[in-house]
Structure 1
Amino acid sequence: MNTKIQEKLKLLPDKPGVYKMFNAQGELIYVGKAVNLKNRVRQYFQSQKNHTAKVRAMVSNICDFDFVIVTNETEALNLESNLIKQNMPYYNILLKDDKHFPYIRIDFRQDFPRVEIVRRYKRDGAKYFGPYLSSFMLRESIEAVRENFPVRQCKHDIGRMIARGERPCLMYHVGKCCAPCTGKVTREQYHELLNEVAALFEGNCKPYIAKLTEQMQKESQNLNFEKAAQLRDRIRAIKSVSEKQIASSATDKCYDVFALARDELGTLAYGLFVRGGNVISAEGYKIEAEDESFSEIIEQFLLQFYHDAGDMPHEINVADEPQECEQLEAFLSQKCGHSVKIRVPKRGEKLKQCELAKMNAAQTLARSRELAHREWERTEGALAELCRIIGIGMLPHRMECFDNSHFQGRDTVGSMVVFINGKPEKSLYRRFKTKQDTAGDDYLAMREHLSRRFERTLAGDEKFAELPDLLVVDGGRGQLNVALEVLDEYGLSYIPTIGLAEKNEEIILPDREEPVILPRSSPALQILQRIRDEAHRFAITYHRSVRAKNSLYSRLDEIEGIGDKRKRVLYEKFVTIDAVSAAEIDELRAVPGMNIRAAQAVYDFFHPNGSAGAAASAETGNAVQSEHHKAQLQSAENKRNADNGE
Structure 2
Amino acid sequence: MAEINQKIKDKLPHLPTDPGIYIWKNADGEIIYIGKALNLSNRIRSYLVDSIKDPKTTQLVRHIADLDYIITNTEAEAFILEANLIKTHQPRYNIMLKDDKRYPYVKLSLGEPFPRIMVSRELIKDGGKYYGPYTDVRSLRRILRTLEWIFPLRTCSRVIPEDKIRYKKACINYQLGKCPAPCVGYISRDEYLKIVNRFLQFFKGKYQDLLDEFRQEMNTAAENLEFEQAAKLRDHIIALEKIQKRQSVSQEDDRNLDIIGFYMEENHAIAVVLKMINGKILNQENYPLKNIENTDREQILSAFLQIYYAPVEDFPDEILLPFRPAEYDKLNEWLGKRLILPQKGDKVKLLVMAKRNAFNLIEEQKLAHLKKANRTIFPIQELKEKLNLPKLPRKIVCMDISTIQGTDTVSSAVFYENGKPKKKNYRHFIIRSIDSQNDFAAMAETMERFLAEIDKDTELEPDLFIIDGGKGQLGISYQILNQSKYPNIPIISLAKRIEEIYTPQNSEPLILSRSSASLRLITGIRDEAHRFAINFHRSRRSKRTLISELEDIKGIGEQSRFLLLKSFGSVDKIKESSVEELASVKGIGDLTAQRIYDFFHPDTISDS
TM-score by length of 1: 0.50
Instruction: Indicate the residue corresponding to 2:510 in structure 1.
Output: 515
Instruction: Please tell me whether residue 401 in structure 1 is matched to residue 380 in structure 2.
Output: no
Which of 81, 87, 93 lines up with 2:120 in the alignment?
A: 81
Residue type of the alignment partner of 2:173? F
- Specify the alignment match of 1:595 in structure 2: 589
Paired with 1:568 and 1:216, the residues of 2 have a C-alpha distance of 81
Matches within 5 A, 1:421-436: 423-436=420-433
- Report what 2:529 is aligned to: 535
Task: Work out the CA distance in 2 between the residues paired with 1:317 and 1:541.
Answer: 54
Match of 2:564 in 1: 570
Matched, 1:136 2:173: yes
Structure-1 residue corresponding to 2:271: 269
Matches within 5 A, 1:236-247: none
1:36 corresponding residue in structure 2: none
The CA deviation at 1:498 is 0.8
- SS for the counterpart of 1:517 is coil
Asked if the contact 2:470–2:494 (Cα under 8 Å) also holds between the matched residues in 1, the reply is yes
1:374 paired residue number = 372
Relative to structure 1, the CA distance from residue 598 to residue 452 in structure 2 (aligned partners, 3 Å threshold; closer, same or farther) is same
> How many Å separate the matches in 2 of 1:116 and 1:155?
12
Partner letter of residue 549 of structure 2?
A: R
TM-aligned CA distance change 1:495 to 1:118, over 3 Å: closer
Aligned partner of residue 499 in structure 1, secondary structure: strand
Q: Report SS of the residue matched to 1:561.
A: coil
SS of equivalent residue, structure 1 residue 416 = strand
Deviation per CA, 1:459-486: give whole Å up to 9, x if none. Answer: x963699754321111234432332344
Aligned partners of 2:105 and 2:120 also within 8 Å: no
Do the aligned residues in 2 keep the contact of 1:383 with 1:396 (CA within 8 Å)? yes
Secondary structure at the residue paired with 1:385?
helix
SS in 1 for 2:429: strand
1:490-505 to 2 correspondences below 5 Å: 494-505=488-499
1:553 shift after superposition: 2.0
- Comparing 510-519 and 257-266, the one that deviates more: 257-266
CA displacement 1:562-605 (0-9 Å, x = unmatched): 11112233344556544543556566445443334333433443
How far off its partner does 1:558 sit?
1.4
Post-superposition offset of 1:512 = 5.6
Give, in whole Å, the separation in 2 of the partners of 1:542 and 1:83: 39
Partner of residue 443, structure 1: 440
SS in 1 for 2:540: helix
- Structure 2 stretches of 5 or more lacking a match? 1-29, 33-97, 109-115, 127-143, 158-170, 248-254
What one-letter code is carried by the residue in structure 2 that aligns with 1:481?
G
Conserved? CA contact 1:262–1:362, under 8 Å: no
Contact 1:415-1:431 within 8 A present in 2 as well: yes
1:389 aligned to 386, 391, 400, which one? Answer: 386
Counterpart contact for 1:434–1:448, Cα < 8 Å: yes
Equivalent AA in structure 1 for residue 442 of structure 2 = A
Alignment of 1:58-97 (within 5 A): 80-81=119-120, 83=122, 85=124
SS in 1 for 2:562: helix
Q: Which residue of 1 aligns with 2:261?
A: 259
How do 1:146-165 and structure 2 match up within 5 A?
none
Q: What is the CA deviation profile of residues 353-410 of structure 1, one whole-angstrom value per residue up to 9, with x for unaligned ones?
A: 99899768855763465246524642x5543332222112123465322111123442
**C-alpha contact (below 8 Å) 1:330/1:340 kept by paired residues:** no
Instruction: Check the 8 A contact 1:70/1:356 in 2, yes or no.
Output: no
- Provide the TM-score with structure 2 as the length reference: 0.52
Cα distance in 2 for residues equivalent to 1:255 and 1:477? 70
Q: CA deviation at 1:555?
A: 0.9
Q: Deviations over 1:80-117 (max 9, x none)?
A: 42536489xxxxxxxxxxxxx9xx9xxxxxxxxxx998
Task: Give me the whole-angstrom Cα distance separating, in 1, the residues matched to 2:327 and 2:200.
Answer: 36
Identical pairs, percent: 24
Whole-Å Cα distance in 2 between the matches of residues 430 and 307 of structure 1? Answer: 41
- Residue 525 of structure 1 is matched in structure 2 by 519
1:359–1:557 Cα change, 3 Å: same
The Cα offsets for residues 124-167 of structure 1, whole Å up to 9 and x where unpaired, read as: xxxxxxxxxx99369947869xxxxxxx97689xxxxxxxxxxx
User: How far 1:195 moved relative to its partner?
Assistant: 10
**What is the deviation of 1:217?**
12
Q: Distance in 2 between matches of 1:308 and 1:155?
A: 38
- One-letter identity of the residue aligned with 2:519: L
1:212–1:425 distance in 2 versus 1, CA, 3 Å:
same
Q: Is the 8 A contact 2:263 2:355 kept in 1?
A: no
Q: Which amino acid aligns with 1:449?
A: T
What SS is found at the alignment partner of 2:555? coil
Say if 1:321 and 1:386 are closer, same or farther in 2 by CA, change over 3 A.
Answer: same
Cα distance, 1:317–1:529 mapped onto 2, change above 3 Å: farther
Alpha carbons of structure 1 residues 239 and 568: separation in structure 2 relative to 1, 3 Å: farther
In 1: Cα distance, 2:197 partner to 2:546 partner: 77
Instruction: Determine which of 410, 415, 418 is the counterpart of 2:407.
Output: 410
Q: Within 2, Cα distance between the matches of 1:551 and 1:342?
A: 70
- Give distance in 2, aligned partners of 1:337 and 1:67: 24
Does residue 479 in structure 1 map to residue 481 in structure 2? Answer: no
* 1:215 CA drift (Å): 12
Residue 339 of structure 1 corresponds to 337
Q: Are positions 1:552 and 2:591 aligned together? A: no
- Structure 1's unaligned 5+ residue stretches are 1-24, 28-63, 88-100, 105-114, 121-133, 145-151, 157-175, 177-190, 247-252, 291-296, 612-646
Q: Aligned partners of 1:79, 1:387: CA distance in 2, in Å?
A: 53
- Residues in 2 aligned to 1:195 and 1:420: alpha-carbon distance in whole angstroms: 56
- SS for the counterpart of 1:435 is coil
Cα contact 2:261–2:322 (8 A) shared by 1: no
Note the C-alpha offset of 1:546: 1.4
Q: Distance in 1 between matches of 2:155 and 2:583?
A: 56
Aligned partners of 2:107 and 2:234: how far apart in 1?
Answer: 18
CA contact (8 A) 1:141 1:241 kept: no
Q: Which residue of 2 aligns with 1:633?
A: none
Amino acid at match of 1:374: K
- What residue in structure 2 maps to residue 128 of structure 1? none
Q: Using the alignment, how far apart are the partners of 1:361 and 1:138 within structure 2?
A: 46
Contact map agreement 1:258 1:272 (CA 8 A) in 2: yes
Alpha-carbon distance between aligned partners in 2 of 1:483 and 1:528, rounded to the nearest angstrom: 18
Q: CA deviation at 1:547?
A: 0.6
1:95-114 mapped onto 2 (5 Å cutoff): none
Match of 1:179 in 2: none
In 2, are the aligned partners of 1:258 and 1:354 still within 8 Å (CA)? Answer: no
CA RMSD between the two structures: 6.4
- Return closer, same or farther for 1:206/1:465 CA change in 2, 3 Å cut-off: closer
